[in-house]
């Protein structure tokens, strides 16, 4: 357990040290929202709002994952990992990335509210929307971390994450877009709860698969 | 593959192929010519499909029902030919509801039924209005005439059941093989054994992908002439497209990893991921959502009401035959890959 | 590169001809005779697909036998 927390802390420290990667992703979010603002000026329908939010969210996640395993080619990292079980490696990386994507998506929601105002959200059930957003983002982070690991190990470069990752996240994408649209329109908890349950289950399935399969990936 | 398996495969496919094309359809009601009904006398033409109005003229009976309570016999004015009959029905002022059904019955064809959304003017609707004056007979057509069931929009294309659905069953079977080989590839510690299982996984996934493509194309063609569009927003269709994309991604991953040991491990891992995803997309998600594709509300394949016994007698052999064919193509693919590798290393 | 150049006009023609499918002529051809022709089309697709696959296997085999 202590090695897990140590690895987790290491991830955070590395990210804080190299702030430019995080800043790059935030710039991406800001510029995307700004371009949307320039084209739309004013969003009337909640569906458009939800769609734009998830377009930004998915590509932010992909962006963040490109750098996920970038630091691994350094020799010292491998020495660190030889001290711990690879399960802790993937657990720490996956959870870190899940939280990172969730945070980035919250920030993008904030930017959206800043530029487009809160009128569109008048009918929305905010708590439900935020819960769905968080579950969807963590799901993206978990699934894409694993795919990024695969892509890193194959050694061909960054394009592979998108090719492998996109089909993998589609069930997640379908469910979370549906949930967000309904939550923004103000559907009650009960009617929408099935979507939440599916999101949660997909999260667990992604984490379980990554947990089981990663040691095979990491064998050197 | 053993010769007797090949013979079984060929004979099953021949039987399914011939039977699916030549097995007769049960006669059914196609349409009625009236666009609306009103109280009093109504004349219209009842069109049947595969019916024998002329041949069984003596036992012909046409009647109109309103819900299940009101039955109104129609008088046969003229039997034009085997498929068309002009009738006249007298309807009172009050009917049970707007839920009208048109029936035709004769000894050769059993009961044919048309449910037509007609306008009805001048009626008052009182639920439960009954009419006892008409003596009518409803027989189960399937008992008299062992043909494929007739559905108004699908009509003859129900024969596609033997050609489109087995594609998916075969793909599923081959992907299960691929999944099993991938798991074995991860388990063993010997290099040659891993390569062997990895090759088998890749060969079965390739053949499965072929059947996936065939299933998608045949499904799209069938959908165009049944539902009117080449593609609809249905969870099973979207799921099938995603499964296709996932396995293509599997092959892209294999192509982009030059090192053999790494390739074996990575593709085995991705195959496991892809298989779980396929099960989620094709078996789990459709149960939770609505769509046009048949067999929802609990079972994404078929509920026992969907599959008639006459269909089953051809469908199960067809499925089994196509699965055997899929396995046969997999063995051919595997042998080809082995020869190609052998050839590459010696030249 | 050459193959890419060959594919682009094909794609353009396919896209252009796609709106022809909206015409009634094609629908009538398939709808008459109770849509049996839809079944024929599906069977043809399945058989053609399988034969294309078998021919590709034969071509790969021939390439190797030729090199020996």
Each residue's pLDDT tens digit, B163-185: 999 999 999 999 999 999 998 88
How large is the average pLDDT for residues B52-75? 81
Q: How high is the pLDDT of residue A180?
A: 85
Rounded-to-integer distance, Cα B12 and Cα B299, Å: 27
Cβ distance B273 to A167 less than 8 Å, yes or no, reads: no
Q: Where do the structural domains in chain C lie, given as residue ranges?
A: 2-67
Tokens representing A85 are 């079980």
pLDDT at B132: 67
Q: What percent of chain C has pLDDT over 70?
A: 49
For helices A2-17 and A86-116, what crossing angle results, to 10°? 40
Q: What average pLDDT score do residues B46-61 get?
A: 82
CB contact under 8 A, B225 and C39: no
Contact assignment for B164 to C53 by CB distance below 8 Å: no
What local confidence, expressed as pLDDT, does residue B298 receive? 39
Contact C53 B17 (CB under 8 A): no
Report DSSP state, residue A158: T
Percent of chain A with pLDDT over 90: 1
Of the pLDDT bands very low, low, confident and very high (cuts 50, 70, 90), residue B211 is very high
Is B157 close to C36, i.e. CB distance below 8 A?
Answer: yes
User: Which residue of B lies nearest to A175 if distances are taken between CA atoms?
Assistant: B285
pLDDT interval class at B232 (50, 70, 90): confident
pLDDT at A67 over 50: yes
> Does the pLDDT value for residue B86 go beyond 70?
yes
Domain ranges (residues) in chain B: 28-125, 155-346
Which of C12 and B218 is assigned the larger pLDDT? Answer: B218
Mean local confidence (pLDDT), A76-96: 75
Residues of chain B contacting C29 with CB distance shorter than 8 Å: none
- Count how many pairs of residues, chain A against chain B, have C-beta atoms within 8 Å: 72
User: Is C35–B156 a contact, with Cβ atoms under 8 angstroms apart?
Assistant: yes
CB atoms within 10 A of CB B99: 14
* Mean pLDDT confidence for B219-245: 85
Across the interface, whether the CB atoms of B256 and A174 are under 8 A apart is answered: no
Architecture of domain B28-125 in CATH?
Answer: Sandwich (2.60)
Please write the tens of the pLDDT for every residue from B107-142: 777 788 888 767 777 777 777 777 767 777 777 655
Provide the shortest C-alpha distance from residue B128 to chain C (in Å). 37
Is A20's Cβ below 8 Å from some Cβ in B? no
pLDDT at B269 over 80: yes
**pTM attached to this predicted model:** 0.80
Percent of chain B with pLDDT over 70: 90
Q: By CA distance, what is C44's nearest residue in B?
A: B218
Confidence of residue B305 (pLDDT cuts 50, 70, 90): very low
Q: What is the pLDDT of residue B274?
A: 92
Q: What average pLDDT is seen over chain B?
A: 82
Ranking A63-77, A112-126, A130-144, B300-314 by mean pLDDT, the lowest is B300-314
Please enumerate residues of B whose Cβ is less than 8 A from a Cβ of A.
186, 235, 238, 242, 245-246, 249, 252-253, 256-257, 259, 262-263, 265-266, 268-270, 272-274, 276-277, 280-281, 285, 288
Q: Is the interface score ipTM higher than 0.85?
A: no
- Which of A167, A216, A217 minimises the CB distance to B246? A167
pLDDT at B299 over 80: no
Contact flag C53-B210 (C-beta cutoff 8 Å): yes
Min Cα separation C39/chain B (Å): 5
H-helix or E-strand spanning residue A134: helix A126-154
- Confidence (pLDDT) at B99: 76
Q: For chain B, what is the radius of gyration of the CA atoms? A: 27
Q: How far apart are CA A3 and CA A134, in angstroms?
A: 26
- CB-CB neighbors (< 8 A) of B272 in chain A: 209, 213
Contact A213 B273 (CB under 8 A): yes
Confidence of residue B28 (pLDDT cuts 50, 70, 90): confident
Dihedral sign, Cα of residue B124, residue B128, residue B132, residue B138: positive
Is the pLDDT at B328 greater than 80? The verdict is yes
Touching chains A and B? (3+ Cβ pairs < 8 A) = yes
**Residue B322's pLDDT band (cuts 50, 70, 90):** very high
| Chain B residues closer than 8 Å to A216 by CB | 186, 265, 268-269
- What is the pLDDT, as a whole number, of residue C18? 45
Residue B214 has pLDDT above 90, yes or no: yes
**Are the beta carbons of B46 and B114 closer than 8 angstroms?**
yes
Of residues C7 and C55, which shows the higher confidence score?
C55
**B83: pLDDT confidence band, cut at 50, 70 and 90?**
confident
Q: Is the pLDDT score of B297 beyond 60? A: no
Least confident of B88-92, B196-200, C28-32: C28-32
């Amino acid at each position: 357990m202590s090695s897990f927390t140590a690895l987790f802390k290491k991830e955070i420290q590395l990210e804080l040290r190299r702030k430019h990667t995080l800043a790059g992703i935030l710039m991406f979010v800001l510029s995307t929202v700004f371009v949307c603002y320039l084209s739309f000026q004013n969003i009337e329908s909640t569906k458009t709002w939800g769609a734009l939010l998830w377009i930004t969210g998915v590509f932010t996640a992909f962006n963040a994952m490109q750098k996920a395993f970038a630091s691994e080619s350094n020799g010292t990292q491998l020495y660190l990992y030889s001290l711990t079980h690879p399960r802790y490696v993937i657990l720490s990386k996956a959870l870190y990335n899940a939280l990172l994507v969730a945070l980035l998506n919250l920030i993008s929601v904030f930017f959206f509210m800043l530029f487009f105002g809160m009128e569109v959200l008048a009918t929305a059930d905010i708590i439900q929307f935020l819960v769905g957003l968080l579950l969807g983002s963590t799901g993206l982070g978990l699934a894409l971390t694993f795919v990024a690991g695969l892509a890193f190990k194959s050694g061909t470069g960054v394009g592979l994450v998108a090719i492998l990752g996109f089909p993998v996240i589609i069930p997640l994408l379908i469910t979370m877009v549906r949930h967000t649209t309904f939550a923004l329109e103000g559907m009650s908890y009960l009617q929408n709860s099935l979507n939440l349950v599916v999101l949660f289950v997909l999260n667990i399935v992604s984490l379980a698969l990554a947990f089981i399969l990663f040691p095979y990936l990491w064998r050197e | 593959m053993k010769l007797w398996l090949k013979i079984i495969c060929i004979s099953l496919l021949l039987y399914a192929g011939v039977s699916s094309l030549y097995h007769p359809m049960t006669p059914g009601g196609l349409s009625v010519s009236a666009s609306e009904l009103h109280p009093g006398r109504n004349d219209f033409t009842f069109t049947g499909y595969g019916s024998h109005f002329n041949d069984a003229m003596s036992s012909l009976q046409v009647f109109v029902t309103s819900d299940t309570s009101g039955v109104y016999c129609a008088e046969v004015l003229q039997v034009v030919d085997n498929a068309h009959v002009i009738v006249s029905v007298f309807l009172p002022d009050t009917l049970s509801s707007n839920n009208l059904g048109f029936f035709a019955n004769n000894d050769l064809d059993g009961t044919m039924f048309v449910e037509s959304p007609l306008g009805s003017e001048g009626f008052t609707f009182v639920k439960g209005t009954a009419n006892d004056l008409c003596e009518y007979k409803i027989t189960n057509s399937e008992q008299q005439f062992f043909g494929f069931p007739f559905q108004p929009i699908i009509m003859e294309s129900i024969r596609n059941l033997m050609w489109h659905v087995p594609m998916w069953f075969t793909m599923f079977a081959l992907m299960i093989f691929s999944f099993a080989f991938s798991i074995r590839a991860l388990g063993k510690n010997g290099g040659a054994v891993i390569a062997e299982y990895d090759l088998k996984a890749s060969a079965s996934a390739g053949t499965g992908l072929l059947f996936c493509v065939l299933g998608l194309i045949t499904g799209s063609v069938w959908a165009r002439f049944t539902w009117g569009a080449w593609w609809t927003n249905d969870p099973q269709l979207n799921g099938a497209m995603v499964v296709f994309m996932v396995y293509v991604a599997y092959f892209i991953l294999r192509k982009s990893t030059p090192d053999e040991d790494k390739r074996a491990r990575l593709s085995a891992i991705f195959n496991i991921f892809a298989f779980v995803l396929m099960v989620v997309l094709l078996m789990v998600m459709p149960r939770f959502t609505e769509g046009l594709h048949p067999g929802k509300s609990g079972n994404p394949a078929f509920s026992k009401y969907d599959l008639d016994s006459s269909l089953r007698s051809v469908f199960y052999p067809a499925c089994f035959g196509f699965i055997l064919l899929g396995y046969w193509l997999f063995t051919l693919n595997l042998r080809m890959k082995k020869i190609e590798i052998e050839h590459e290393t010696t030249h | 590169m050459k193959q890419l150049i060959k594919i682009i006009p094909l794609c353009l023609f396919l896209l252009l001809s796609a709106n022809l499918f909206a015409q009634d002529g094609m629908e009538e051809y398939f709808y008459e005779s109770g849509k049996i022709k839809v079944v024929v089309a599906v069977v043809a697709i399945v058989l053609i697909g399988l034969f294309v696959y078998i021919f590709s296997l034969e071509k790969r085999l021939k390439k190797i036998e030729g090199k020996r």
